[in-house]
């Protein structure tokens, strides 16, 4: 008689992947029906949050009969060499579950970017699920904690593993434990922690957590281990083992897609009933995704710079306090005569309404969220009554519902609710953050859609959001009054491109918002929001007059032809003024190469003097005088002493040979073609061996394509102690790099603005950049030593080629070794620059005055009025 299974194993899949960000998609698919039968769209979703990241855990457990064998694999989104996202998968794996309970089996998977497989002991028993997590990637975490051969723990059985993120932790010896059984691993965050002496613990046996590299690390829960067992620190780090490279070193990154729901807000929110009407295209509130590879309908916004995600201060009081410190720092550094006179804005009484699909810290996929939040903070400090509006993608803490509106769109009426949170920055200065709540915004796969695709109803979602944002100043009573009609709307990127169209043809045509104005800010023209016009008629879907608004919405696409709606083009054509994130980018997008099909419209706006480029500003936290994350604070007066201390600390922390005479070069960004890795990766051996006798070191920090990550790891292996390949991202380490490095490498193929090159100059680190976009605007080159020595702040190069980069690196490194007086002069020039937001806001205030005082760009009466 055949054996009949009598027990079932409960299996939970877990994966550690620091290359995939919270809010992006991670799935496990396989032969089991609950794993989607190999169909990614039906696979088991995996989630993470700000406390467990980079560990991803499946949203459900599987019950699998004993003796079964299933195949599975992990899939995630990944940027390719062209800067586009698509699914990437790990090879198939097998999971064989033993017969009967209390059986032990071995299998541990490696994650993305780490080739090969390794084994680990696992204990399985019926109906028990205790996840065993691997820092290298997915394992089918099963049933009971691993019974690994480990050193004996004292009776408490607790090991402090908060710090076990060191890149070399796999080689570390196991620390000796005191009687309390609590291991002090605070000093294990360094990449070469094995060389550091272990501090003596007090009698209490409790480790001092002040040395944590991550500010949040002390809050991590301590895992309870079986009696007599200890967590193997060799396998709990993101360290390199033989033939592999680290996923993340010293992780202190916290970049959640959305905030964790608060209990208060959750209780206020009504649960959606089964008969709730769905958005057009919804299937149980989640529409089918549209593949951007096969059918180019719209473009989900993607992150272009890690530094945009690295802001560590978001609290309103801390931001206001930091601004006060910056003002004091300025007074200490410069005399009153040298302080620039701020622009005297003439329309401080004009309310500012900032409309963005992302808003830091509540929702973000990249730099858009950071800039939009900076607008809210800076305009409020200037004295404007300020409102910042964004969709509500989840329940947010400390938000209160203050109103609702009914929006007519897509053949129906849709109710939205407005949630409010007020940030006060000083007496009479505050920003009112408004979140538009509708079920269409709450999606598990991310803000815009799953990787490589977008939601099928994104046109509906952002048209609804734009209309709701336009209604908000009219209907929301805040502090006893509404914002009213005489406001200035600041629209950001394609998601809000239709707002100026509605403002013109839905409101002004009916004598509402007659004196209101709008500005369209282009952060990245590569994403335009294109949709099929025949599928979404201008009149019956968008509720706009097709004979008037039709031409403004018209777009072109290689897949759709003229049957296309282009939201960004509509905003460019109808807004009163168009802004970009750097002056040079405003010039580049007027060319056929840089305009992505919109160069004609942009050239026309430039001829009207209504197209302007303004460099983004940087946050006040990027200041060496007050930065709490660096080894020694410094100012212009003691820059050399400060940078020497920071350089030594950085070399020690990342396992580089401690030598102040080495030229330390840093790179921080996504590991992809667009960031210029194809230019400098082939030069590493030359830099380490031949250039100036090889008296150079390099730190490469970032994550992205596995091919580049592998090359980074191999470069570190060839040049131990001189190259650090930091595959991962830590905003604290980024601060330390910019303070301790001599040069910052940023050879991007294109960069609308860029922020790291501005951060670097504030710390006296000279950037080597490709002359494109905002890099050209923010870095002044040393083209002639006699002429430019009083103004040069870096080393820009022309032409996106390795030879051009090689030539400029020769100049920079030769100067470091042979002409220190000129090198120090350039450092001083760089630190005297002012890239902070107050200076940028002078330019914004000037544009506000010109926009409010000038004639409206378009009149609403009719097509004939505006064309003849």
pLDDT confidence of residue 34:
81
- The predicted structure's pLDDT at residue 323: 66
pLDDT 10s digits, 302-340 = 233 334 444 555 566 666 666 666 666 555 554 444 445
Alpha-carbon distance of 648 to 658, in angstroms, equals 6
CA angle 366, 367, 368 (to 5 degrees): 95
Collapsed DSSP state (helix, strand, coil) of residue 371? helix
Which whole number is the average pLDDT over 57-71?
80
Contact 680, 691 (CB under 8 A): no
Mean pLDDT score, 819-828: 96
What is the mean pLDDT of the segment spanning 579-584? 96
Q: How far, CA to CA in Å, does 598 sit from each of 169, 318, 435, 526, 566?
A: 51, 41, 31, 10, 10
CA 646 to chain centre: 26
Torsion of CA 503, 508, 511, 516, to 10 degrees: 70
pLDDT of residue 364: 82
What's the alpha-carbon Rg for the chain, to the nearest Å? 28
Residue scoring higher pLDDT (78 or 222): 78
Residue 477 pLDDT > 80? yes
Strand partners, 11: 62, 142
Q: In the chain, pLDDT over 90 holds for what percent of residues?
A: 51
Angle between helices 639-653 and 731-740 (to 10 degrees): 130
- Please give the Cα distance from 492 to 529 (Å, whole number): 12
Q: What is the pLDDT of residue 109?
A: 52
Q: Flag whether pLDDT at 270 surpasses 60.
A: no
> Rounded to an integer, what distance in angstroms lies between the CA atom of residue 556 and that of residue 569?
10
| Amino acid 316: pLDDT | 67
Per the omega criterion (within 30 degrees of 0), is the bond before 361 cis?
Answer: yes
Kind plus residue range of the DSSP H or E element containing 416: strand 412-426
Residue 94 has pLDDT above 50, yes or no: yes
Write out pLDDT tens, residues 738-767: 999 999 999 999 999 999 999 999 999 999
Average pLDDT, integer, range 631-649: 95
Distance CA 79, CA 671 (A): 9
Among 451-455, 643-647, 654-658, 666-670, the minimum mean pLDDT is found in 451-455
Locate 321 and state its tokens: 């306090």
pLDDT at 93: 74
Looking at 231-235, 469-473, 694-698, 857-861, which range is the least confident one? 231-235
Position 720 pLDDT exceeds 80: yes
- Name the nearest CA neighbour of 866 among 537, 507, 504: 504
- Residue 504 CA to residue 862 CA, distance in Å, equals 10
Model confidence over 242-258: pLDDT tens digits?
333 333 333 333 333 33
> Residue 861 burial (CB < 10 Å; 0-12/13-18/19+)?
exposed
- Total-model pTM: 0.65
Q: Where are the beta strands (DSSP E) in 728-817?
A: 743-746, 766-770, 795-797
Residue 105, pLDDT > 70, answer no
Q: Which residues of 543-567 are buried (b: 16+ CB within 10 A; e: fewer)?
A: bbeeebbbebbbbebeebeeebbbb
What is the distance between the terminal CA atoms of the chain, rounded to a whole angstrom?
Answer: 92
- When pLDDT is averaged across residues 19-29 and rounded to a whole number, the result is 74
DSSP state of 609: T
Cα separation, 866 vs 364, in Å, equals: 38
Residue from 655, 813, 629 nearest 725 by CA: 655
DSSP strands (E only) in 84-193? 85-89, 93-96, 103-108, 118-124, 139-142
**Best CA proximity match to 779, nearest among 762, 764, 767:** 767
Distance CA 39, CA 31 (A): 9
- Count of CB atoms within 10 A of residue 274's CB? 5
Q: How far is CA 813 from CA 691, 766, 829, in A?
A: 8, 11, 18
Q: Looking at residue 19, what is its pLDDT?
A: 63
Query: 717 versus 227: which is more confidently predicted?
Result: 717
Rounded average pLDDT over 535-553 = 93
Mean pLDDT of 664-676: 93
Lowest average pLDDT, out of 96-100, 359-363, 681-685, 722-726, goes to: 96-100
Does residue 583 or residue 453 have the better pLDDT?
583
Contacts of 693 (CB under 8 A, 6+ apart): none
pLDDT band at 40 (very low <50, low <70, confident <90, very high): confident
């Amino acid at each position: 008689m055949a054996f009949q299974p009598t027990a079932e194993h409960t299996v939970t899949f877990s994966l550690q992947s620091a290359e995939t960000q919270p809010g992006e998609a991670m799935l496990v698919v396989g032969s089991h029906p609950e794993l989607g039968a190999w169909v990614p769209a039906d696979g088991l979703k995996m989630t993470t949050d700000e406390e467990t990241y980079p560990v991803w855990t499946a949203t459900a457990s599987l019950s699998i009969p004993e003796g079964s064998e299933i195949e599975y694999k992990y899939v995630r989104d990944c940027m390719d060499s062209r800067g586009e996202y698509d699914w990437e998968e790990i090879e198939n794996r097998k999971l064989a579950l033993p017969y009967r309970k209390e059986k032990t089996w071995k299998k541990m998977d490696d994650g993305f970017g780490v080739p090969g497989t390794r084994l680990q002991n696992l204990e399985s028993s019926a109906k028990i699920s205790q996840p065993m997590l691997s820092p290298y990637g997915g394992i089918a975490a099963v049933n009971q904690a691993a019974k690994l051969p480990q050193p004996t723990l004292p009776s408490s059985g607790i090991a402090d593993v908060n710090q076990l993120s060191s890149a070399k932790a796999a080689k570390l010896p196991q620390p000796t434990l005191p009687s309390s059984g609590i291991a002090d691993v605070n000093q294990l965050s360094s990449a070469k922690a094995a060389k550091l002496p272990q501090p003596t613990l007090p009698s209490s046996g409790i480790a001092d957590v002040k040395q944590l590299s991550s500010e949040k690390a002390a809050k991590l829960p301590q895992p309870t281990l079986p009696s007599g067992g200890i967590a193997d620190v060799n396998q709990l780090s993101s360290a390199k083992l033989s033939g592999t490279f680290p996923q993340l070193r010293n992780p202190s990154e916290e970049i959640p897609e959305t905030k964790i729901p608060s209990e208060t807000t959750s209780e206020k929110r009504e649960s959606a009933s089964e008969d709730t009407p769905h958005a057009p295209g919804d299937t149980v509130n989640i529409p089918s995704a549209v593949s951007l590879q096969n059918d180019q309908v719209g473009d989900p916004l993607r992150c272009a710079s890690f530094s945009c995600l690295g802001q560590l201060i978001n609290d309103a009081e801390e931001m206001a306090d930091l601004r006060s410190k910056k003002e004091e720092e300025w007074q200490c550094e410069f005399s009153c005569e040298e302080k620039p006179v701020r622009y005297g804005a003439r329309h401080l009484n004009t309310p500012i309404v900032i409309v963005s699909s992302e808003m830091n810290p509540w929702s973000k996929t990249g730099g858009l969220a950071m800039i939009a939040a900076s607008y809210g903070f800076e305009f409020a400090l200037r004295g404007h009554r300020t409102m910042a509006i964004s969709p509500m993608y989840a329940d947010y803490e400390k938000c209160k519902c203050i109103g609702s509106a009914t929006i007519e769109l897509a053949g129906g009426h849709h109710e939205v609710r407005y949630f409010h949170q007020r940030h006060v920055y000083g007496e009479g200065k505050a920003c009112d953050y408004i979140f538009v709540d509708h079920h269409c915004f709450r999606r598990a796969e991310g803000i815009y859609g799953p990787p490589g695709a977008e939601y099928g109803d994104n046109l509906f979602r952002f048209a609804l959001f734009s209309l709701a944002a336009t209604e908000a100043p009219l209907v929301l009573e805040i502090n006893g009054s509404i914002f009213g009609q005489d406001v200035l709307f600041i629209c950001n990127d394609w998601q809000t491109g239709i707002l100026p169209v509605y403002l013109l043809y839905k409101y002004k045509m009916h004598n509402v918002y007659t004196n209101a104005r709008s500005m369209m800010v282009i952060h990245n023209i590569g994403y335009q929001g294109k949709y099929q016009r025949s599928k979404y008629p201008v009149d019956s879907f968008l509720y706009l007059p097709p004979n008037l608004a039709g031409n403004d919405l018209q777009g072109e696409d290689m897949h759709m032809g003229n049957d296309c709606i282009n939201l960004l083009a509509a905003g460019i054509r109808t807004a009163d003024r168009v802004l970009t994130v750097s002056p040079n980018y405003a010039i580049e997008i007027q060319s056929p190469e840089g305009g992505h099909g919109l160069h004609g419209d942009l050239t026309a706006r430039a001829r009207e003097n209504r197209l302007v480029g303004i460099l983004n500003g940087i946050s006040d936290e990027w200041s060496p005088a007050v930065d709490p994350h660096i080894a020694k604070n410094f100012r212009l007066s003691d820059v050399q002493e400060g940078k020497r201390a920071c350089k030594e600390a950085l070399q020690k922390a990342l396992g580089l040979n401690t030598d102040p005479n080495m030229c330390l070069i840093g790179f921080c960004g996504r590991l992809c073609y667009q960031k210029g890795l194809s230019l400098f990766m082939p030069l590493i051996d030359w830099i380490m061996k031949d250039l100036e006798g090889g008296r150079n070191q390099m730190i490469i920090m970032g994550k992205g394509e596995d091919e580049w990550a592998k090359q980074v790891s191999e470069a570190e292996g060839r040049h131990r102690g001189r190259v650090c390949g930091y595959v991962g991202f830590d905003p604290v380490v980024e601060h330390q790099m910019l303070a301790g490095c001599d040069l910052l490498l940023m050879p991007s193929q294109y960069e609308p603005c860029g922020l790291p090159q501005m951060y670097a100059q504030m710390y006296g680190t000279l950037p080597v950049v490709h002359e494109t976009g905002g890099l050209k605007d923010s870095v002044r080159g040393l083209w002639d030593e006699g002429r430019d020595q009083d103004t040069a702040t870096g080393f820009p190069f022309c032409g996106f080629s390795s030879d051009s980069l090689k030539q400029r690196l020769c100049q920079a490194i030769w100067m470091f070794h042979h002409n220190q007086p000129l090198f120090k002069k350039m450092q001083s020039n760089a630190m005297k620059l002012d890239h902070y937001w107050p200076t940028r806001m002078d330019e914004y205030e000037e544009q506000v005055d010109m926009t409010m005082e000038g004639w409206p760009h378009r009149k609403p009466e009719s097509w004939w009025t505006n064309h003849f």
